[in-house]
Homo-oligomer: A and B are copies of this chain.
């Protein structure tokens, strides 16, 4: 029931995922009648798609913690309880992300030794993708929070990025490569990560990130969320400027026509929908938080992200962090 284009986009994405991933069972959680109505437009539903009724909806304006406590029959709370009970291996929502986080922490509970949750999201790079965390779950981090994020990211990266190597390259986002560059949080975290058993490559600047020099990029949630939003913003600016220039002459209009596949390919590389969703790390279970603007493709890919994490036994592996959690 969540997201700007729900329930149509969610139903369409679920159907596409059910068809593409026949060994995945998709459970649509929400108002039974509404879901059936949207499903009916697509013909007979496949056998690996079912419905779990939930009578309430957490709205975007709802206060996260209150909504989780009071709306116990909301789609977010019901689907989170499916994971808690073991009836589902993962939960996905494009709805109120604050409520998703609150429900995950309150129902699934934090992993022992992890003090704060982090959102791990995929970023496009010149060579492929990398994992950035935290992308917005926890602001005002302490150094040991960032160390825990690094540990969780290093465990998740091989699954998320399909890495052959066991020890992904972990970098600390900063404004210079030297350990002395950055704010107090970064400088202190650099010391802790250097003493850790991770494959820590030191501070990384945004240009190293986009060049694909690092697999896991660690930062505070305020900074990480700004980075994501800056990427969206700059991409939009770039697109608008090109579009404006293209319309200026017949020559450029012809050029634009010839380059349509090029622009499409570049746009696809940046499209959040291709990335599907971000994983909330630090709770006992696989929780995927999708963009509020998610279309069917984004939902389909989010189901793929969730299935990969569940198959990789991420939730079982996280509680044994490599160099011991520090709180």
Residues of A within 8 A of B (CB): 124-126, 136, 139-140, 173-175, 182-184, 186, 205-207, 209-211, 220, 222-223, 225-227, 229-238, 240-242, 245-246, 248, 251-252, 254-259, 261-262, 265-266, 269
Contacts and interface: CB of A to CB of B under 8 A. Distances in A.
27 contacts: A126-B241, A139-B183, A140-B183, A175-B222, A175-B226, A182-B222, A183-B222, A186-B222, A205-B233, A206-B230, A206-B232, A207-B232, A207-B236, A210-B236, A231-B234, A234-B235, A234-B238, A238-B238, A241-B265, A242-B262, A245-B262, A245-B265, A248-B262, A251-B258, A254-B258, A255-B259, A256-B259
Nearest to A251: B258
Contacts of A258: 251-252, 254-255, 258
A226 B241 contact: no
Per assembly, the copies of the chain total: 2
A242 B239 CA distance: 12
A241 B222 contact: no
Contacts of A210: 233-234, 236-237
Contacts of A229: 175, 205-207
A262 B244 CA distance: 9
A252 B259 contact: yes
**Secondary structure type dominating chain A contacts:** helix
B245 A266 contact: yes
